[in-house]
Chains A and B, each alone.
Chain A
Amino acid sequence: MTGEVKFLQGNEACFEGALKAGARFYAGYPITPSSEIAEMASQRLPAVGGVFIQMEDELASMAALVGASMAGAKAFTATSGPGFSLMQENLGLAIMTEAPCVVINVQRSGPSTGLATKPAQADVMQARWGTHGDHAIITLCPTSVQECYDLMIYAFNFSEKFRTPVIFLSDEIVGHMREKVVLRDDIPVINRPFPQGDPKQYMPYKPGENKVPPMAYFGSEYVFHASSSMHDETGYPNNTAQNADKVIRRLYEKIYDHRDEISIIKEFETKDADVLFISFGSAARSSREAVNMMRKDGIKAGLLQINTIWPFPDKKVRQLISHAKVVLVPEMNLGQIINEVRKLSEGKPVFGVNKVDSTIITPGEIVNKAKEVLQNA
């Protein structure tokens, strides 16, 4: 891993990753605990020929992202719970029109304004199902400052390759902690496929490789119409049942056909683990320490850290669960990822380690719960 070494906040590393991935458009409405990203974008994007716009609200921010994306830019925004709620409608527009973009949600304690400066991991299901209609979505969760940088590049790569919005689900703890980060240059950057052939024959929504249509940009000789209504390969509305079935399935399959490629996970001591933790975001940091503490006590513990939470890494989770005696899912909510794990556990008991008081789950709390569960197993 080579590149400039910096000591940055997670939020700052998110911006550096976006810049590295080629992002040149930011539209947003600052909100704690994500504001550092807007601040950096406002200072740094204009210096590289990019655009920063402070919008009137998050509805407009998300709309601006879709527009910028269609004009050919790699576009992103950053927000937190209340703003993410407002973005849901136009997030659906980005899915329907296949406009690549990245939405960062640095999670804070809710509902509503909640504890505005405190962390939570409670937007897991909102990231999956916040916008209406059947759809697939890609969601990445960082556990460290380095991962903020790395995963932002992957977020843009996935959005470009699959022409889809990608949600980057951070949290206040990861967003505001400072760690060493290498601004590495060894992650290849992917750009959306551009159409070939006679512009007059251009079919903007005709699927190409991987069921993804090549994408022109507004202002190019490839003229196109993008609609939020159900449309066919021409881009114009088509209300037939047959077309709707085809499009909804394609939008889903273009992502779910590539689950293995999209699934980013990390395993710590899982090979012989009797006690398996499955976690993500800042809770995965505490879980890693819990693994260390239990191993010192002679208990075989391990952690599956899930960086790609959507699509959920079914295959890996199923495989590791089958070898474990007990499974625990630490998360800073009352149980969201745990339900995905339970769907795959084939009757094996799965226990939550849940906390919603806006303070981080400590390794000690995880160890205590694991020991209690082990005794009764």
Chain B
Amino acid sequence: MGERMEIRLSGSGGQGLILAGIILAEAAILDGKNAVQSQSYGPEARGGASRAEVIISESSIDYPKVTKPDILLALTEEALMKYKDNLKPDGVIIIDSSIKKPELPVKIISLPIIETAQNRTGKVIVANIVALGALTTATKIVSKESTEKAVMDRVPKGTEELNKKALYSGFELGESL
């Protein structure tokens, strides 16, 4: 892993990507690294293209925003179109399999994230946690143990089992590559 990794998580507002970003950053801190999380912050609460940004580094993080992502997660076509173009040359895009795979000069991984959330847990609302699990094992940017601990620390009481199931399903998706 390089010195500074920039990750952008995108989808539509309400899909829980900001929470996923927070958990990813917390997992990195549990791994003993530094992390900064930020989000695009607008008046709209639902819909539209929404994004969370996370920077992870072994050393201190000065500039707190993403300029050229190493990793882009896109759960909707709209978000992919908006954010696909400025990745690093060796960057990777993880898209939900509902999105048509675009022709791009970077590596693209298509995974059935939303479908897995629906089929394995019965709840599409945990697609963010499935995505986080898949991203963890596909990119190895954080450890599985730290991700699990960070998820359990952040999700609402009473939803731990649901989220754990979602996370493990996500881990499997990333490991299947």
Please list the residues of chain A having a beta carbon within 8 angstroms of any beta carbon in chain B: 5, 7, 33, 116-117, 172-173, 176-180, 282, 285-286, 288-289, 292, 360, 362-364
Contacts and interface: CB of A to CB of B under 8 A. Distances in A.
Given A7-B26, A7-B29, A178 B38 contact: yes
B165 interface: no
Contacts of B64: 173, 177, 179, 282, 285
A173 B38 contact: yes
B41 A177 contact: no
Given A7-B26, A180-B29, A362 B63 contact: yes
B43 A117 contact: yes
Nearest to B43: A117
Contacts, number: 55
Contacts of A33: 41
Contact of A177 (B26, B37, B42, B67): B37
Contacts of B38: 173, 176-178
A173 B63 CA distance: 11
A286 B65 CA distance: 9
B132 interface: no
Q: Which residue of B22, B64, B67 has the most chain A CB atoms within 10 A of its CB atom?
A: B64
Interface in B11-55: 22, 25-26, 29, 34-39, 41-43
Interface residues of B, number: 19
B90 interface: no
Contacts of A177: 36-38, 64
B103 interface: no
A285 B41 contact: no
B63 A289 contact: yes
Contacts of B42: 117
Interface string B98-122: 0000000000000000000000000
Q: Which residue of B22, B37, B42, B63 has the most chain A CB atoms within 10 A of its CB atom?
A: B63
A288 B63 CA distance: 7
Contact of B34 (A173, A180, A282, A292): A180
A116 B35 contact: no
A288 B62 CA distance: 6
B63 A285 contact: yes
Nearest to A174: B64
Contacts of B25: 7, 178
Q: Which residue of A116, A176, A179 has the most chain B CB atoms within 10 A of its CB atom?
A: A179
B42 to A, nearest CB: 6
29 contacts: A5-B29, A7-B25, A7-B26, A7-B37, A33-B41, A116-B43, A117-B41, A117-B42, A117-B43, A172-B41, A176-B38, A177-B37, A177-B38, A178-B22, A178-B25, A178-B37, A179-B34, A179-B35, A179-B61, A179-B64, A180-B29, A282-B64, A285-B63, A285-B64, A286-B63, A289-B62, A360-B65, A362-B67, A363-B62
Contacts of B63: 285-286, 288-289, 362-363
